[in-house]
Structure 1
Amino acid sequence: MNIVTIRASSLAELFDCPARWEAKHLLGMRSRSSGAAHLGTSIHASTALFDQATMDGAPISADDAAGLFVDTLYNPEHEVDWEDSGPKQVERIGLTLHSRYCADIAPTQDYVGIEVTCERLEISDLGLALTGTTDRIRRVDGELGISDLKSGARAVGSTGVAVTAGHRPQLGVYELLAEFAIGQPLTAPAEIIGLKTGAGPCVGRGEVTGARQALVGDEDNPGLLQMASRLIHGGLFYGNPKSVLCSARYCPRYPTCPYKG
């Protein structure tokens, strides 16, 4: 069986719409990045700089780290579809979230890894190789666990807790990658750090336990990695016209897709 490489961040997209996943990750088709996605990329960059400096024993101020947010926001590596807004319109939101993360989240964390990359975790019997970067590895009561930053208009619920629904499989993949990268077991619950970009931007946290269970399955139920292998190696790249991302903005295959509504 030939080995197909999957980025951890793309697993959810594979199950949402295999046709869109194939277009982007196997056929190399591209669409412009959304403004929301680029805002998230910019916040990731500046908060990582802040946390890395702290972990290295040479802390910098939140304002100093915010400079990287601004640089990344205004100098994207790829074309960005801002629709009716632009970097100036979202700069204030991003700076607010960056500051709140640095003031409210970072001081409570004991990070042991920032942007930890796993070059390749091969699962030969499934014909898959997993790659990706885990946002953070933290120490909690002597145990290690991952922390994943998620930005979006609804990333934090009304109670101030990060929304965790739907993220379990992806967190499970990040746990596998992080364990392989550092060679140590991760036994603490996975954590999502939500960065709400919608009205009233705020930050919050939420925990997820047993994130890997859905990936590996059991005797009666195949795991999601097995299902991913079946889709990819079976060429089952069907479309999902009910996906919320079924549009020309998010899918490079949309103009010629036979499955769209």
Structure 2
Amino acid sequence: MNLFSGILYNLRGLWLGLRTPRLLMLGLLRFAVVALLTVGLSGVILAKHAEILALLWQRPESAWIVWAWYLASWLLSLLLMGISAVIAYLLSQILFAVLVMDLMSRITERLVGGPVAASPRVPVMTQMGFLIRQEVPRNIIPVLLTLLLMVLGWFTPLGPVVTTIGPLVAAIFLAWDNTDLVPARNLQPFRLRFKSLVRSLPFHLGFGLPFLIPVLNLIFLSFAPVGATLYHLDREKRVTGSPPEASM
């Protein structure tokens, strides 16, 4: 699996989600919650836009380079909107989205041919509690640390490098939050699941790249569990020798 495969699975999941009424309803529910949180956070963050830009770069007096200052202002606005979407996504995860993600994943499994693997015979509430606890080491802490590094990078000589790498790292962990859903539901140890992430970093980067597109990232994040489940279903079929489902 390479970077292009990750992008393709994300698009396949979005397409299947839009064509399936139950998945569409759940995806729109996630979209509504994330969108409302994003709008609220964007309003707060962008209200401080001028102060943040002034800390990074005072408006130059020269008319020859003031255009670069305006360009930096627009780029900063887009970056802040992206950060707002990521923070809103994390808040929605904590509040209720893990339950919706798991339901979307189960529906996807039934639509395209059954479960990836035999689930442990444990109560559903035990599985859900395990999934919710996994949000901390799997997503919330890594992404928040990445955002912190991005902010700190604005005030250091390595700022451009850190600001570029930070969103890519966040995209990988946001992708993993979705692709890790099926293994976590089957109660696989965190250590094994993290090794699986390390072995497939290009795929996860490709899967997470659409999450960096302002506005559209809200849609991709809403239906990401579908594409992540398709990825696990196809991978299991390759392991067992069954013919994979047709793409798109």
Assess same fold via TM > 0.5.
no
Greater strand fraction, Structure 1 or Structure 2: 1
- TM (normalized to structure 2)? 0.32
- Give the structure, 1 or 2, with the largest relative contact order (CA under 8 Å, sep 6 or more): 2
Q: Which has the higher helix share?
A: 2
